[in-house]
Structure 1
Amino acid sequence: MYDIIYNLTTLILYAVTSYYFYKVISNFSSVKDNKYAKFTSILGAYLIPNVIIYTSDIVNVFYTMIGFILIMVVFYKSSYIKNISAVMIFYPIVVSINLMANDFCAKVYIYLGETLWMDYFAQTLEMCIISFSWFLIYHFSKDKLSNIGRYIDIKTWIMIDIICLAPFISIITTIINTPLGKEYQAYPIAIACIITSLSMIFLIEYIVKNVKNRLENQNLKLEYSYYRELEENQKNVRKLHHDMNNHLSVIYSFLEYDNLEGAKDYFNELSDKFNVSNRVFCKNSIVNAVINSKYNLAIQNQIDCFFNIDIDEILPLEDIDLCSIFSNTLDNAIEASLKLSDISQRKISLKARCNKGYFSYSISNNYNGVIKFKSGKYNSTKLDANMHGFGIENIDDIVKKYSGTLNITYTECEFNLLAIIKI
């Protein structure tokens, strides 16, 4: 009877630890969309945080580390560098907590009496400590690790990995070189590794906030520039209205003397002088500023644009997310269009609207037929591809944030992206 209760308790505590460990890693990176990846990631979440760690134990330490790395690299979606960062941050926490919990509970077992009941109690206490630790880590990190994929680039992940390398190596060498019976000697390093890893989560949150603020400032600058230009256009229109009689008199004089060329030239001069470059695509001022910026850039590069935008109602999307969708897709479309030597083929069609409780966003553009697709991701065709190609990945992260769907299709000459989010 007691064996059944103990085994049931063990199973429950293992499941709790696995659940919170899995949630922590899922906040960091997403599992690939296939049953094998999901099964393996769940299995890894069961085995990795529950592993028993002793000092002078090479086998469990290295098997856990190698297994963790393989699962993150093979079965998770994000870039290899980012997934390795998850190992660098959380592996020292795993082995440090498990080492100290095992040693502490072993001492409790010896102190209270080496009986079967004390053995059950000590093992249950160890699992409780580990479960509660991951419960706390999850609630500590869940908000800090949200949307990190959209705001941290490869260079920053490499920097984070380099910083984590010292505690990562320190805890491994400490566990291997500390003799049995002197586990207390490893405590300072283990505690330092846990603090360092948790501090890295604070650092990641700080970086994300800075990048997000920078993007918001860029959008606000675009909005400010848009309103300045709009105000200037309105001044020009008022000037035109004020001098209209004079301008009409000049044009009439040209026509009266059958000087059609002079009338045309004067009219064209007026058109250029009072040309309004800004358009009102939607009532969201920040989004409108972003679209205007990209639209003007496209027109300057002789790209034929068709924009049909109807998103006047309030959306449950953050402005920075909405702007990211427009700016990333339009940047990609403009970049692809500029690679076409035949100017007549440079075309971008964008449609965005709210209808029947859904926000739909569709953009299509012609391209040169070259697409790099690797490991389930679209890669940049730029020479420095390692520093680019995150636009679609960012859009995918945004759409998933709002539980939407993203569909990408392409032919030999046309690329299409469709995002749908329930509002």
Structure 2
Amino acid sequence: MFAKFVLDATWQQAAYCAVCGCGMQHIAFDIYLIYQISGGESGLISLLIYVVIYLLFYQFFAKKLPEKGEFAASRQALFPIATIILLVWILSILDNSAIAGFEAGMWHRIIYRVIDGLCCFYVLWVQINQKEKMSLQRELDGINSAWRQQKKQYQVTSETIESINRKCHDLKHQIRALREITDEKEKEEYFNEIENDIMIYDTALNTGNKALDTVMMEKGLFCKNHRIQWSCMADGTKLDFMKLEDIYAIFGNALDNAIAAVLDLKEPEKRVISVKIINQNSLLMIQIQNYYENKLHFEGGLPVTTKKNKRDHGYGMKSIRYTAEKYNGTITVNGEGNIFMLQILIPVQRGGC
């Protein structure tokens, strides 16, 4: 009950904290009893035992168990540890009671307390290990989800661009209809409509790679509509050894991050994104730069998402790294001088550039 309201947690999380706390208290109690059984009588040392155990527990367990401020307390994890701690607690009560006049020897009681404490320690250690596994699984699920979303987005965008291409092709037939229009105002409106339809080709690129052209056209349209300048120096044929969905995953995520950063900038001259793809010393180098204002915080070599819901966001950069590593590549991130630079290096593979 105390954990529920003080921590503002769910009942499941509160129960998880209470069980782990009970295990910690039991370890401290076992060590205290070992000291007492061995003939120790100092109240100060007894107090120090509890203080030291609690501090060690906080440093090596309590600080590591929460993930981004929340306890990953599943029912599958809670039931076994609660059962074990309860059994240990019951056995401890029985050991402290006078059972049929039997009194165990000193070493017997010490060994029992050591085993009792080790059981509790094992339960807590398993929680740390389980938490790390759950964290890795959640991260992998997030990356896979982002990858599937990017793949789906690529298919939708590709179909949309194909539709636009057909529409623009049909414009030449519509132009013929202009000859039949005699009203100048109506003709001017029709011209403006056609001009808006074909302005999409201002953002079209022909890099030599279909997937790259698709993502560049999609992001280019967004930039044009939101007054974001961008430059692109890219030979898409250098990416031919990569799968289409991997190309889209890298550039889709990278450009989404860059666009999100420059959208917040108030100075128009800083709303700029630069994309460069070159072949350098048997390495494919992908470099994307943009201005940014927010302070960068890194974790594991990657910037941490600035969005409030950190658990469900921040997988874009991890997806980029995961995709690059599929091709034995590496990524580096630099944020000096308020210029964010993402650089990806991938060894050139046979059949590529």
- TM-score band by shorter chain is 0.5 to 0.7
8 Å CA contact 1:305–1:347 kept in 2: the answer is yes
8 Å Cα contact 1:348/1:364 also seen in 2: yes
CA spacing shift, 1:366–1:228, aligned 2, 3 Å = same
Check if 1:236 corresponds to 2:167.
Answer: yes
Whether the 8 Å contact between 1:61 and 1:172 is mirrored in structure 2 is no
Structure 1, unaligned runs of 5 or more: 1-52, 71-80, 89-152
Gap runs ≥5 in structure 2: 1-26, 33-48, 96-108, 349-353
The structure 2 residue matched to 1:211, chosen from 133, 138, 142, is 142
Deviation for aligned residue 1:323: 4.2
Q: Which residue of 2 aligns with 1:411?
A: 337
Aligned length: 281
8 A contact 1:223–1:285 mirrored in 2? no
Pairing 1:339–2:251 present: no
- 1:351 corresponds, among 245, 261, 276, to 276
Displacement of 1:171 in angstroms is: 7.2
The separation in 2 between residues aligned to 1:245 and 1:396, in whole angstroms, is 48
Distance 1:374 1:202, change over 3 A: closer
Q: Closer, same or farther in 2 for the Cα pair 1:64/1:315, shift >3 Å?
A: farther
Aligned partner of residue 276 in structure 2, secondary structure: strand
What amino acid is the match of 1:223? Y
- Could you tell me how far apart the structure 2 residues matched to 1:188 and 1:64 are? 17
Aligned to 1:160: 72
Structure 1 pair 276/297, CA: closer, same or farther in 2 (3 Å)?
closer
Report if the CA contact (8 A) 1:222-1:286 is conserved: no
1:269 aligns with 2:181: no
Q: CA deviation at 1:300?
A: 1.8
Residue 347 (structure 1) shift: 1.4
> 1:397: how far off?
4.7
1:258-289 Cα offsets, whole Å, 9 max, x none, are x7x87665433222234446735656555554
Deviation per residue, 1:372-411 (Å, 9 max, x gap):
44788755556x3856984786378548844525141432
User: In the superposition, relative to structure 1, how do residues 263 and 224 fare at CA in structure 2: closer, same or farther (>3 Å)?
Assistant: same
2:289 maps to a residue whose letter is S
CA distance in structure 1 between the aligned counterparts of 2:167 and 2:320, rounded to whole angstroms: 42
Q: Which residue of 2 aligns with 1:96?
A: none
Question: Shift of the alpha carbon at 1:240?
Answer: 2.3
TM-score with structure 1 setting the length: 0.48
1:24-49 deviation line (CA, Å, top 9, x unaligned): xxxxxxxxxxxxxxxxxxxxxxxxxx
Q: Deviations over 1:316-338 (max 9, x none)?
A: 76766654543343233222322
Q: Which amino acid aligns with 1:227?
A: S
Q: Aligned partners of 1:356 and 1:211: how far apart in 2?
A: 34
1:295 match: 220
Identity level (%): 17
User: Offset of 1:362 from its aligned partner?
Assistant: 1.6
One-letter amino acid matched to 1:271: E
Take 1:184 and 1:284, find their aligned partners in 2: how far apart are those partners?
Answer: 65
Partner of 2:13: none
Distance, in Å, in 1 between the alignment partners of 2:156 and 2:188 is: 32
Q: Per-residue deviation at 1:222?
A: 1.4
Deviations 1:281-307 (A, max 9, x none): 656555554444333222221111212
Q: CA RMSD in A?
A: 5.1
Measured at CA, do residues 202 and 296 of structure 1 come closer, stay the same or move farther in structure 2, by a change above 3 Å?
Answer: same
Using the TM superposition, name which of 177-186 and 299-308 deviates more: 177-186
Q: Tell me the TM-score normalised to structure 2 length.
A: 0.56
Number of the residue aligned with 1:223: 154
Cα contact 1:304–1:346 (8 A) shared by 2: yes
Q: Distance in 2 between matches of 1:396 and 1:215?
A: 10
Q: Name the structure 2 match of 1:304.
A: 229
Could you report, residue by residue, the CA deviation over 1:77-100 in whole angstroms, capped at 9, with x for unpaired residues? xxxx8xx25xx8xxxxxxxxxxxx
> Equivalents in 2 of 1:186, 1:346: separation in Å?
60
Q: Secondary structure at the match of 2:193?
A: helix
Higher relative contact order (CA 8 A, sep 6+): 2
1:315 Cα offset (Å): 6.7
2:10 maps to what in 1? Answer: none
Q: Distance in 2 between matches of 1:373 and 1:219?
A: 25
C-alpha contact 2:258 2:290 (8 A) present in aligned 1? yes
The answer (yes or no) to whether the contact 2:286–2:343 under 8 Å persists in 1 is: yes
Q: Distance in 1 between matches of 2:53 and 2:162?
A: 66
Rate the CA distance shift 1:69–1:225 in 2: closer, same or farther, 3 A: same
Equivalences for residues 131-150 of structure 1 within 5 A: none
